[in-house]
Amino acid sequence: MNKEQLVKAIAAETDESQAVVIKILNAMTETIVETVAEGDKVTLVGFGTFEPRPRKERQGKNPKTGEPLTIPATTVPAFSAGKGFKEKVKP
């Protein structure tokens, strides 16, 4: 499902216009991105948690030359599914 399909599904479920749904969806994703970028986490009970996770510096290999290189430490965004989400997906 892409963003357009998601907007249509939400609009049909909520009887809101697609324009309103797009505004809400964009505001929600922007808020989540900004909050995680600031180092905080966002928890949506039953859905999941978005959070920043640190990655340690590690050794890697240049795929073309095979030479070893150091991959610097960084912070990456992560998502952990909530209990309700996991139970819904579980076979």
Give CB contacts under 8 A, 24+ apart, made by 71-76: 75/39, 76/52
d(CA 76, CA 69): 20
Residue-wise pLDDT tens digits, 70-91: 999 999 999 999 999 999 998 7
Integer Rg of the chain from CA: 19
How confident is residue 12, by pLDDT bands cut at 50, 70 and 90? very high
Helix crossing, 3-14 with 18-37: angle to 10°? Answer: 120
* Cα–Cα distance, 80 to 41 (Å, whole number): 11
Domain locations in the chain as residue ranges: 3-82
47-60 in b/e form (b: 16+ CB < 10 A) is ebebbeeeeeeeee
51 contacts 36 by C-beta, under 8 angstroms = yes
pLDDT at 91: 78
The CATH homologous superfamily for domain 3-82 is IHF-like DNA-binding proteins (4.10.520.10)
pLDDT (tens digit per residue) in 17-75: 999 999 999 999 999 999 999 999 999 999 999 999 999 999 999 999 999 999 999 99
pTM greater than 0.85 = no
